[in-house]
Structure 1
Amino acid sequence: MNKERIKQFPFVFFLIPYIHISLAMDYLFDSIIGIFLFVLVTAIIGFFAKRTQQLPLLVIGNIINILLSGLLILQKSPLVNLYHSSSPFTAIAPLCVLFLISQITGIFWGSFFIKESSLTLNKKTSDR
Structure 2
Amino acid sequence: MHKKIISLLPFGFYLIPYMHLSLAIDYLFDSLIGIFLFLIVTVTIGFYAKKIRRLSLLILGNLVNILLSCALILLKSPIVDWYHSSSPFVAAVPLIVLFIFAQLTGIFWAHALQKEGAFSIDKGSKN
Q: Percent identity?
A: 59
Give the distance between the partners of 2:54 and 2:27, measured in 1 at CA: 34
- The separation in 1 between residues aligned to 2:41 and 2:83, in whole angstroms, is 22
Q: CA deviation at 1:2?
A: 2.8
How far residue 119 of structure 1 moved from its aligned partner, in angstroms, is 9.5
Any unmatched runs of 5+ in structure 2? 121-125
- Deviation for aligned residue 1:17: 0.3
Is the contact between residue 27 and residue 83 of structure 2 (CA under 8 Å) also seen in structure 1? yes
CA shift, 1:84, in A, is 4.0
Structure number with larger C-alpha Rg: 1
Answering whether residue 113 of structure 2 is matched by residue 116 of structure 1, we say no
Alignment of 1:55-74 (within 5 A): 55-74=55-74
- Distance change in 2, residues 1:56/1:83 (3 Å): same
What is the number of equivalent residue pairs in this alignment? 123
Q: Name the SS of the counterpart of 1:79 in structure 2.
A: helix
Task: Tell me what 1:13 maps to.
Answer: 13
1:35 and 2:43 matched: no
Match of 2:90 in 1: 90
Deviation at 1:118, TM superposition (A): 7.2
In the other structure, the counterpart of 2:123 is none
Q: Which has the higher helix share?
A: 1
Superposed displacement of residue 3, structure 1: 2.5
Identify unmatched segments of 5+ residues in structure 1: none
Say if 1:112 and 1:84 are closer, same or farther in 2 by CA, change over 3 A: same
TM-score, scaled to structure 1: 0.90
TM superposition shift of 1:97:
0.3
Distance 1:65 1:71 in 2: 10
Once superposed, what is the RMSD of the aligned Cα atoms? 1.9
Supply the distance in 1 between the matched residues of 2:73 and 2:8 (Cα, whole angstroms): 28
* Contact 2:113–2:119, Cα closer than 8 Å, also in 1: no
- The aligned amino acid for 2:62 is N
In the superposition, the TM-score normalised over structure 2's length comes to 0.91
2:36, 2:7 → 1: CA distance?
25
